[in-house]
Chains A and B, each alone.
Chain A
Amino acid sequence: MNLLLVIAFAITLIYLSMTERFPIYAGLIALQGVFLFALSFLELDTITLGTLLFVAIETLVFKVIIVPYMLFRIIRKTGETRVHDKALPAFYGLLFVTVGLLLSIVISFSLSTTTSTIVYFIVAFFAVYTGLFIIISHRKIFSHLVGFLILENAVLLLSMAIGSEMPMLINIGILLDIFVSVLILGIFAMRMKQHTGELTMLKDD
C-alpha cells in the first residue's frame, strides 16, 4: 500500500511538470497532501491520539485543505490561470523531469539504503528536483509558490523515510514551514499581483 502511494505521488510530480494551468497545479498539490496523509498515517507504528491529531493537522488540514484553498484564492484574486507564454513547452518539461527521475534513481541506489526506504529516497529526490525545476523554468510567482510547496512535500516524504517516530521538534519545524508558506507566501503572492506578476524591478543597472 505504501509503495503504491509513493508511486502515485511520483506520478503527480510528472503531471505537475507538464501542466500549464494553475487550477490543476492547486488540485495536484491537494492530491499530494492526501497521499502524504495516508503515508504518514500508515507509517506510524504505535499511534496515540496525540500523534494522530498532529499528523492529521500537519498533512490533512494544512496540505489538503488550507494550502490548496490559499492557492485557489490566489488564482481567483489575481486572475492568473496559466503559466507564462514564454514558459518551457510541456514536452521539454517532460524530458527534463525524466532525466531528473533517472538521476534520482542513480543517486538513491548509490546511497545504498535498505529496500524499504529506497523508493522514498527516489521519489523524495525526484520531488526536490521537480520543485526546483518548476521554480527555475517558470517566470510567474504562482509557479514559484507551487515549486516551493513541492519542495516542502519532498522534505516531509524524506523525513518519513527516517522512521515512523518523527520527533516533535521536526514536526514543529515542518509546521513552521507551513506557516511561512501559507501566511507569508500567500499574503505576499496576492499583493505582488497589484504591481506585477513577475520579479523584474530589482537589478544592478
Chain B
Amino acid sequence: MTFSSIIVIGFFGSSVLIALVVGLIHSKALARILTIGYTLLHLAFTAFSWLHLNETVLDYFTFDPLGVLLLSVLSLLTVTTVYHGFIYVKDAKPRIYTIYHAALIALIAAMSGAYLANGMTTVWIFVEATTLAVAALIYHDRTSVALEATWKYVFVCSIGIALAYLGILFLGFTVHDARLLHLSFSSIIDIARMANPLYLKIAFVLVLVGYSTKMGLFPMHTVTVDAHTVAPPPISAFISTTLMNVGFLAIFRIYALFSATTVLPFMSHVLILSGSLSLLVSAGYMLKAKHNKRMLAYSSLENMGIVAIALGIGGIGYYAAILHIVLHSLTKAGLFYQIGISYKVMGTYDLDQSGNYMTLYPAGATALLLGFLCITAIPPSGMFLSELYLLKAMVHSGNWILLTYTALMLCFVIYALLIRVLHIVYSKPREKPLHEPQPVNPWQTLTQYLLFGMVIFICFVQPAPFREVLESIVQTLPK
C-alpha cells in the first residue's frame, strides 16, 4: 500500500469517524472542536492533493486538475461555511447542533469523494451520499416547510440518481463488460470510441438529466430552488456552489469521456438547449421572485445555464465554463452568507418586508452591492471575464442567434436582480417584517469581502499557476 493510499483511506476513514462521534455524542463543545479539526484536516488533504497532482490512488480515486481545483474551492468555502454555521446554530439544542455538524462533515467528505472519484460508479455512490447528508441539513429548522423541501430534494434527487444510474448501465452495454464500469475514466475512453453512438447518446442524456438535480440545471432545477429557500444560509451557500459543482463535474466527466467520439455535436446541442432553457426559466422566475433566497437560487440556475452553454459551445467556451464555475462558487457563497446576515438585521427574507438595509447595516449593504456587481459580471468582477470569453466563443463559432438570446436573457436577469437589490439596500419596506431585527457584528461580513475580493482580483490578474491548471483541464477536450 502506497503512502497516498494511506492518506486517502485515512482522510475518508477520519471523516466517517468524526461525523459519527459528533453525531452520537451530543456535546456542543466537542462538536465545535472536532469540526474545526476536520476543517484543518480538509485543508491539509487539499494541499496533499496538489502535491500529488495526476496521481491515481487505489484505482477509485484520482487527483486530476479539475477534481483538485474544485476540492480547493470546497476547502476554502468549508472554512467560511463552518464559521457562519457556528453563528447560525449557536442557540440550537445540543442534539440539533451536533446533527447539523455531523451532517456537514459527511457532506464535505461525500463532495470531496465525488470530486476525486476515478470511475462512473464511484462518482455515483458519492453523489448519492451527498443527497443523504444534505437532507439532514435542509431539514435543520424542523418546520413543515423544511420537511416539504427536504422531501422534494431527497425524492427528486433519488429519481435523478436512478436516471443517472440507468445512463451508467447504458455505458455498461457499450463496453459489453460490466466489470469495467468501476475502472478509471481513461480506460473507458478507448471503449467509447468503438461503441454504438446511439447508446452513448442515451447514456449522456440520462446522465445529464440525472445529475441536473445536483447541478440545478433545467429540467431538474426546481428541487434545488426549494432547498435553497429553506436550508440554513451557510448550507444554501454549499448547495448553490460546491454541491452544484459536484453535478457539473459528473456531467463534465461524461462529456470529456465521449468528446472523442462522433456524439460530440449531439452532446453540445443538448447542453446548449438545457443551458438556454435554464436561462429562460431563471430570467422569468427572477422577475417575479419575492423571496430573497429564491432570488439567489434562480441566479444559480442562470449561472449553471451559462456554464452549460459555454461547455456546449466549446473552444474558449471550455475555459470560460471552468473559470465561471470557480468564480460563481466564491461569489454565490458570499451572497448567501450576506442574505443570511440580512435576515437577522431586517427580520425577513420577504422582499416586500425588506428595505433600508444601508441605514440598518452599512457594512452588509455594501457587501450586498459588491456581491451584486460580482454575480452580474459587471467589471471589475472576474465573472465579467468568463462571460466575455463565452460571448467570444459564440462569435468564433458564428452562433449569432444564441449570442443575441443569451445577451437578452442576461439583461432580464441583471434588471431583475438590480431592482431587488436596490430595493433591499435603499428603499423603505413595503410591509412590516414579522420578526424583530437582531444586532449583528460587522466582522461577520469579512468573509464576504474576502470572497468578493478574490473574484475581483481575478478580473485584473490571473496568476500563472491558476491559468495553467485551467488550461490543463481544457486541453483534454477537442479544440
Contacts and interface: CB of A to CB of B under 8 A. Distances in A.
Q: Do A and B come from one complex?
A: yes
Interface of A: 110-111, 113, 128, 132, 135, 141, 144, 148, 151-152, 154-155, 158-159, 161-163, 165-167, 169-170, 172-173, 176-177, 179-181, 184-185, 188-189, 191-192, 194-196, 199, 201-202, 204-205
A173 B124 contact: yes
Contacts of B193: none
A162 B177 CA distance: 8
A201 B121 contact: no
B148 A199 contact: yes
4 closest pairs, A vs B, by CB?
A: A195-B144, A169-B182, A162-B178, A202-B226
13 contacts: A111-B196, A111-B198, A113-B173, A135-B159, A154-B166, A162-B178, A163-B178, A167-B181, A184-B132, A184-B135, A199-B151, A201-B144, A201-B145
B84 interface: no
A170 B181 contact: yes
B297 to A, nearest CB: 10
A189 B158 CA distance: 14
A205 B166 CA distance: 36
A166 B177 CA distance: 9
A152 B166 CA distance: 10
Given A158-B169, A202-B145, 13 more contacts: A155-B169, A159-B169, A159-B178, A162-B169, A169-B125, A169-B182, A177-B161, A180-B128, A184-B135, A185-B154, A185-B158, A189-B151, A202-B152
Interface in B280-296: 285, 288-291, 294
B429 interface: no
B147 A173 contact: no
Q: Is the interface of A mostly helix, strand, loop or mixed?
A: helix
A148 B160 CA distance: 10
A195 to B, nearest CB: 4
Contacts of B121: 167, 169-170, 173
Contact of B198 (A110, A180, A194, A195): A110
Q: Is the interface of B mostly helix, strand, loop or mixed?
A: helix
B147 A188 contact: yes
B274 interface: no
Contact of B159 (A151, A167, A172): A151
A173 B155 contact: no
A138 B37 CA distance: 47
A169 B121 CA distance: 7
Contact of B148 (A177, A202, A205): A202
A108 to B, nearest CB: 12
A105 B166 CA distance: 17
B94 interface: no
A170 B154 contact: no
B166 A204 contact: no
Contact of B165 (A167, A173, A191, A202): A173
B179 interface: yes
A135 B121 CA distance: 26
A176 B128 contact: yes
Interface in B127-164: 128-129, 131-132, 135, 144-145, 147-152, 154-155, 158-159, 161-162
B155 A185 contact: yes
A110 B288 CA distance: 44
Given A148-B155, A151-B159, A162-B178, A192 B147 contact: yes
Given A162-B173, A188-B150, A192-B147, A180 B179 contact: no
Contacts of B199: 111
B204 to A, nearest CB: 15
Given A167-B182, A173-B128, A185-B155, A202 B149 contact: yes
B154 A180 contact: yes
A155 B151 contact: no
B120 to A, nearest CB: 10
A30 to B, nearest CB: 20
A188 B122 CA distance: 27
Nearest to A192: B151
Contacts of A169: 121-122, 125, 181-182
A205 B124 CA distance: 35
Contacts of B155: 144, 148, 185
A155 B166 contact: yes
Nearest to A107: B202
Interface in B94-142: 121-122, 124-125, 128-129, 131-132, 135
A204 B294 contact: yes
Nearest to A163: B178
Contacts of B179: 165, 167
B152 A176 contact: no
B460 to A, nearest CB: 38
A177 B181 contact: no
A128 B202 CA distance: 14
A201 B148 contact: yes
Contacts of B149: 202
Contacts of B198: 110-111
A197 to B, nearest CB: 12
A177 B162 contact: yes
Contacts of A141: 151
Nearest to B129: A176
Contacts of A151: 159, 162
A143 B421 CA distance: 41
Contact of B158 (A148, A161, A173, A192): A148
